[in-house]
Amino acid sequence: MCGIVGYIGNDNSIPILLEGLKRLEYRGYDSAGISYIKDGIGEVIKRQGKVSALTEAVERENISAPIGIGHTRWATHGVPNEINAHPHYNREKSLFLIHNGIIENYLSIKAGLVKEGYEFFTDTDTEVLVNLIDRYIKKKNLSLFQAVRYALNEVEGTYGIAVLSIAEPDKIVVAKNGSPLVIGIGDQENFIASDVNALVSHTKQVVYLEDNEMAVIYKDRFVAKTISDERIEKEIHEITVDADEITKGGFPHFMLKEIMEQPESVRNSMRGRLILDEGLIKLGGLLGYEQRIANSNRIIISACGTSWHAALVAEYMIEEFCGIPVEVEYASEFRYRHPVIRKDDTIIFISQSGETLDTLAALKEAKRRGALVMGVCNVVGSSIARASETGVYIHAGPEIGVASTKAFTSQLIVMALITVLIARNRQMSQIEGVELTKAISELPEKIQEILELNDQIEKIAEVYKNASNFLYLGRGYNFPVALEGALKLKEISYIHAEGYPAAEMKHGPIALIDDNMPAVFVAPNDPTYEKIISNIMEVKARNGKVIAIACNGDSKIDDMVDHVIKIPTTHRMLTPILTVIPLQLLAYHIAVKKGLNVDQPRNLAKSVTVE
């Protein structure tokens, strides 16, 4: 949440800041702003709303400055407006600060500053931090770096910050605790950002700051230290993301592009990892840990949102084929409820961004207690990936649309690979391993076949675009798909939707059924099929409208439902990877037909880096 970008060098910082903010807008789009220093004068320009509003305001000024910072906001403290937008500054407009995170003890700090004569004009916690830094500069006669360091030792909470000072116009001071921050290395120029996506047009070399680390960024170098003022050496990493990967590529929305990329993204998730003739899986990130994982007394999977739905599917996979008890936890609850964690547990943390704050905090707690900690992430070099003892990248490629699509199916692919890897180290035979690996390898073509139903699904969306409520129902492996389908519709169309195990319908939700309430049934040819058919009949008996996701060749269901979307058959463990795709398209088309911004739905941001 919130996007941070900064530049120092010989070029004009302004277009670089604006380009970076546009690339980071999926992290927050309530308001945006920049601050820059030129000829000893510091200025701030900020606007409520999208980065485009800021761009219009900035371009009218025809500004050129060699140093600047920018921010796109997802509101936490204070409503989205121009006053609360970042950057924030002190009374003299000599200090400028942008911030991602939450200062939890800001009220007590603010009270102390008010007693000393400081005035506040916003509702944000960030304004408190910039004035606290100002106080240390004035009262202690400290340098910018030392003032920031002293201030951060006083605050509680999370932050990724960047600070400018007119008194020291040759540097940007940055710091991180809980919110991501990366330094981009150039030739006589350096960059900062909360996400490498903001940097890909300018550099491939980056340095990741860890928690409780700071840095002073000059145009020709950077100096990294701990918050306790100890000098540290940082490793430079090479990023592989290309600028073309984070453009729409001719599609009207990132979400549609990412849905349509799924044949390739799932192929990338399995590439080089299948040994088909032996029914084996090769995962380099788990090398040396295979037996430790296979001998786990218990596996816990922790995640948030869509990743939590992937974890639920993985629970079915691992328990059925590996015979290991699995528990699935919301990361936001896991860290606070004093869970029982043992040293022979393996705990898997799933996160698209690898920066989800709740998941990262849960990981650190599990690691502290001695369990084996495994990360399943999309973003290479992300905080969760770096903090994990072992793990697997899903290699889905950049996902810009706030509503996750291709990352979900790639997470399922990787969890299927992990399942086969564990099972082959336990009781799974080579014959069964060959069957599963072959089925996995066939998925890209089957996904492409489903995507060719896009026009049919759009027509169904036209029928139901004005519905007020939806019910999504599935059983077994496809109960989590019902949850995910409902979430996608809620996220981007703002239609109330609920996902349930189909058998639970009779325990309450069936009371909602009438001729205005569409029910979406996930009904592949698996062991639960006959039970699902019975549930469909119960809905139809009450005049409910039914949309079914069924398999090719299933003619039995045709006369029972109002609409049916037919998909290819696959191994029962892998059906969620196929059944979810029509639900992604259905949600997308309904939202588009309602005239909504599917890539930037209200109140949501792509990466949740605050609690």
Beta pairing, strands 372-377 & 345-351: parallel
- How far apart CA 185 and CA 435 sit, in angstroms, is 47
Query: Cβ-count burial of 327 within 10 angstroms (0-12 exposed, 13-18 middle, 19+ buried)?
Result: middle
Tokens of 279: 């029914």
Tokens of 604: 């949501």
Pick the catalytic residue from 46, 171, 176, 606: 606
Instruction: Please confirm whether the linkage preceding 87 is cis (ω < 30° from 0).
Output: yes
Burial string for 517-545 (b: 16+ CB within 10 Å, else e) reads: bbbbbbbbbbebbeebbebbebbbeeebb
Q: Using CA of residue 403, residue 450, residue 577, residue 474, what is the dihedral sign? A: positive
- How far apart CA 198 and CA 519 sit, in angstroms, is 41
- Among 545, 566, 544, which Cα is nearest to 554's? 566
Spatial neighbors of 388 by CB under 8 A, at least 6 apart, are 349, 363, 373, 374, 375
Pick the catalytic residue from 2, 304, 377, 551: 2
- 551 assigned to active site: no
- 606 assigned to active site: yes
| Helix spans in 442-569 (H) | 443-451, 454-464, 479-493, 529-540
Q: Which whole-number Å values give the CA distances from 377 to 175, 267, 269, 383, 407, in the listed order?
A: 24, 16, 11, 10, 9
| Helix spans in 271-345 (H) | 290-294, 305-322, 331-334
Active site residues: 2, 606
